Amino acid sequence: MAGRRQQEWFLAKKKAFALRISEPVMQAMQRWADDDLRSLNAQIEWVLREALKKSGRIKTPGREPVEDDDDAGGDSGVE
């Protein structure tokens, strides 16, 4: 059963969301993403998910991978 929940979490539909963020914060997130070999989008999602888990606002079974969906033709907004 736990394996199925992990699979459902990974396959959860993603929603597009426009995010207004200051330039210094975005640059710092991009550097962090580069260090971790993630896209900026995946890094932001990972940071948000970790904060939610730490605060007890989200429960996730096991360790869920962060999917890099920047290759799907979307524009990350970073030049």
Report long-range pairs for 55-63 (Cβ below 8 Å, ≥24 apart): 60/9, 61/2, 61/5, 61/6, 61/9, 62/2, 62/6
List pLDDT tens digits, range 48-71.
Answer: 999 999 999 988 766 555 566 665
Question: What number does CATH give the domain 21-59?
Answer: 1.10.1220
List pLDDT tens digits, range 3-39.
Answer: 555 556 556 788 899 999 999 999 999 999 999 999 9
Sign of CA dihedral 31, 52, 76, 74: positive
pTM of the model: 0.61
Minimal CA–CA distance to 47: which of 68, 61, 33?
33
